[in-house]
Structure 1
Amino acid sequence: MELSASFTRALLSGFDRAYADLLRVATRSTGSREEAGDLVHDTWLRLAEHARGLPAERHGEAPQAPRDAAAYLAVMAQHMALDAQRRRQRHGRYLDAAVLHEQLAPSHAPDAADSVMYRQALAALEAALAGLPARGRAAFVAHRVHGERQPEIAARLGVSLNTVERDLIQAQACIEDALHRWRGTRPGSADTRRAGRRRSLGALLGLAGMGVGGSVGWRQWQLYRDTHVQWQAHWSSTRGQLARHGLPDGSSVLLDAQSSAEVRYFAVRRAVTLARGAAFFDVARDPGRPFTVQARGVRVTVLGTRFGVEVAAGADGRERVTVQVESGRVRVEPGAGGQACELGAGQGLQVEGATVTQTQAPPGDAALWRHGELAFAGSTLGEALQRLSRYAPFTLAATPEAARLPLSGRVRIAQARAWVRALPRALPVQVRQQADGGLLVAMAR
């Protein structure tokens, strides 16, 4: 059913009164209070976004208000809970298939016997590779180890693309011939097809791109394991959208509105780069693969915990990175010569340029935006409005003088418009309605 503008705005105006009931309904549907809070928040965001795109009521048109706004909103939240459950089921089936594929695929990590065979193979290949021209070896390692494309190699070496192709073919033929001699097989023979384990090892040798000398080749293999991406994803969220993503190891990432993150899993580590916005991480413990989050120059390393990281605009246009821990422990390296430190539950760290500030708050306050709230402590009005603008379906702005006013407190995201309109009660400002429906905060005259 298409909702009219007056009906949608009436639902929004009654949302705050119905919030507690909606949270109880969503908790029964999902079995998780945290997820229920996300769903109720998303319900408000959908209504706000819908209202933003609707034209104003025509003059003289009677407003259409719901008889029971709470009941209507509860049904809407239940439908969103069902949609979320279906998405989880589809994602679960996808992850199950990925796990099965990983279990069926041959392992790339050599056991003790493989390691001995590997070194023997390197010795067998050494003489063959030593006979290659230096340019051919350089092209082979660049292409097979570092993943460079052939045109890039040709430009860097100052040769034609055909020359690079010939060099790679020659190097590959050299490796295949040496492997056959090491195995005692002939190309295309039944022995080659029955090589089994040694044949898999040969594929690994080709991927590793051996250099001259067994020790060099072994280092190349270690480099391959450290740099070869086993799984990766890139996610972004739009204004007013919170997005939860599951990871292959059982961890999860909740992206805040207008945020972006890239995730890459390697054999020995799990790495996330938070490009903008904020994210909350629920990390499954894996001592063999530390989980790191890189946010600008700040690096956070954990084994298993729940914590939030945010990149936001700070004073004088500098970016501020905030880390907040809900449970477990994390190690934070501020970068730029800063002293690394460990944080536990309820502890946090703010890094703004060369200034590093430790904070303390209840563990449940980590990434408050998950629960539809924002907290400002020692902030400015401009920073608060910019943070709220990630969710508001209307523009929020302040004049330069008003933006510098100090501000502390909490605000519910669903009450952003009412909160901004109430600012003159606490600050010497006035709020002006803009032609596009946005709000401009200026100093009072």
Structure 2
Amino acid sequence: MNPPAPCTAPTTADVSPNGASDGLLAVFQHQYGALLRYVARRLGNGDDAQEVVQELGARLSLGTEQTRPDNPRAYLFAMAHNMAADHLRQLQRKRQLFVAHAGDALPEPEGHASADTLDRHLHREALREVALALHALPERTREIFLLSRAEGIGHDELAVRYGVTRSTIEREVIRATDRLHNALGHWRGDAPAGLAERGRKRRSLQALLGMLVLGVGAGGAAWQAQRESRVEWRQAWRNPQRWAQPYGLPDGSQIVLDAGSAAEIVFEAGRRHVRLLRGSAWFDVAHAPERPFVVDMADVRVTVLGTRFAVESERTAQDDGWIEVHVAAGRVAVTPRGWRAWLSGEREVVLGAAQRMRIVPGLPWQAAPAQAGAAEEVAPWRNGRIGFSRVPLKEAVQRLARYHDRSVQVDETVAALPVSGDVRLDRVEDWLRALPAALPVELRDTAAGFFIDASTIPARPLG
């Protein structure tokens, strides 16, 4: 295995060594300010504009644009125009899901110039009451309600998903709406109202729910911090190599991306923000309490002030798979993020040195206790190896897929067989070929790749 290159400042070639995106990325970097101003005019919001332009840069950096336009500048502005339009449509759709009538505006969010201190306090209190009522709902009722109102999933589709009738789904949504409405009315001290008054208050509740989903109010501190943010540095990296690749950050922190991994990094005035788009990453974070270091992946957020830790995501677009956080030194806070946090009911979990936590959809969050020597075992892929301890065979094969070129299929009859031991990442195919000597499996080498299924020849157990 080739050793990783020394940690140096990234260049365009580092980000996308092959493909049509190289030229576009160079033009994007040169036109970044103009693109930001253009999108801000379209959206009327500088913070949303930053998000859209950063997403455009991430697409280019990750090599997803294969077009070689004759006029790169015009092409980029056309992309920005379309992405801004998509952003407006998504925002309008979210609002429409929660506001019953076109004339009902969302309540003023925290920090808005027209909202005074009392208004902001009342918004926080009302949102807290709604959030508590959400968590008090039966699990199925809460899930159906949020999937219907936040995702916009139709009642027919939900009926199929839960194996019930459409009328059952409708009753669950009405039940949740009534519970939340009553909770909000109790907080206000309202007396029983007539139909017209109930309709007005229901619209008020829907607007509050819209604020929850849009991240306003209950997450008002984060919303306000975002509005006050100013991008000072940004970069997106993907590591197409079969070995780990280190990258240096302007504050002295270091990121090491595993093979096949990708991340986007944005340094703002008050925050250092990383989005792990796929794969695994190791972080050695420079201490800066006034500027938290935040890592987002799927629906999980990790926040640190100064520490060394690793994150790994095998989460798919269908929300299958897992996310793991492993701390080498210092402390991190792991929290759910996005509106899906309302479904999980999980709260902040603090991990210390030598602790790890694996997050699997549908299972409660629980940190593993610290173990002697565990800190030295954080992200062993940095040193060209991975260790397994009674890990299901299929999971181990999937984890090793990024280190070799052959496709590997595992028959479900042997997928759960436990695997233990260390694997050298430059010899994954040798490990695959050795499996029949340790497990009751056969490895068939076909033109399409390897296929692992049950063996009729007895084999000694592994581990």
TM-score (norm 1): 0.52
1:286 is aligned to 288
Measured against aligned partners, the alpha-carbon deviations of 1:173-197 in whole angstroms (never above 9, x if no partner) come to xxxxxxxxxxxxxxxxxxxxxxxxx
Question: Bigger radius of gyration, 1 or 2?
Answer: 1
2:8 is aligned to 88
**Does the 8 A contact of 1:225 with 1:266 survive in 2?**
no
- Does residue 444 of the first structure (1) align with residue 455 of the second (2)? yes
Question: 2:378 pairs with 366, 379, 383, which one?
Answer: 366
Q: How far 1:253 moved relative to its partner?
A: 0.8
CA distance in 2, matches of 1:440, 1:343: 39
TM-score (norm 2): 0.50
* Greater fraction of residues in helix: 1
Q: How far 1:402 moved relative to its partner?
A: 2.2
Structure 2 runs not aligned, ≥5 long: 12-39, 53-79, 90-111, 120-220, 457-463
**AA in 2 matched with 1:358:** A
Q: How far 1:42 moved relative to its partner?
A: 2.5
**Does the 8 A contact of 2:259 with 2:402 survive in 1?**
yes
**Does the 8 A contact of 1:372 with 1:412 survive in 2?**
yes
2:393 is aligned to 381
1:421 is aligned to 433
CA distance in 2, matches of 1:237, 1:145: 29
**AA in 2 matched with 1:441:** I
**Does the 8 A contact of 2:390 with 2:420 survive in 1?**
yes
Identity %: 36
Structure 1 runs not aligned, ≥5 long: 1-40, 44-79, 92-137, 158-209
SS at match of 1:289: coil
**AA in 1 matched with 2:407:** T
**Does the 8 A contact of 2:407 with 2:450 survive in 1?**
yes
Question: 1:346 pairs with 341, 354, 370, which one?
Answer: 354
* CA separation of 1:417 and 1:264: change in aligned 2, threshold 3 A: same
Q: How far 1:241 moved relative to its partner?
A: 3.8
- Listed as ranges, the matches of 1:46-445 within 5 Å are 84-85=5-6, 88=8, 142=44, 146-147=48-49, 226-238=228-240, 240-312=242-314, 318-334=320-336, 335=341, 336-355=344-363, 356-359=365-368, 360-361=370-371, 362-435=374-447, 438-445=449-456
SS at match of 2:324: strand
* CA separation of 1:341 and 1:213: change in aligned 2, threshold 3 A: closer
CA distance in 2, matches of 1:426, 1:224: 53
Q: How far 1:354 moved relative to its partner?
A: 2.8
SS at match of 2:413: helix
CA distance in 2, matches of 1:317, 1:401: 24
**AA in 2 matched with 1:379:** V
SS at match of 1:230: strand
Alignment RMSD, CA only?
3.7
SS at match of 1:294: strand
**Does the 8 A contact of 1:285 with 1:303 survive in 2?**
yes
**Does the 8 A contact of 1:240 with 1:393 survive in 2?**
no
Q: How far 1:421 moved relative to its partner?
A: 1.7
**Does the 8 A contact of 2:283 with 2:309 survive in 1?**
yes
* CA separation of 1:144 and 1:303: change in aligned 2, threshold 3 A: closer
CA distance in 2, matches of 1:369, 1:287: 29
**AA in 1 matched with 2:437:** R
Measured against aligned partners, the alpha-carbon deviations of 1:42-100 in whole angstroms (never above 9, x if no partner) come to 25xxxxxxxxxxxxxxxxxxxxxxxxxxxxxxxxxxxx8xxx45x63788xxxxxxxxx
CA distance in 2, matches of 1:429, 1:156: 53
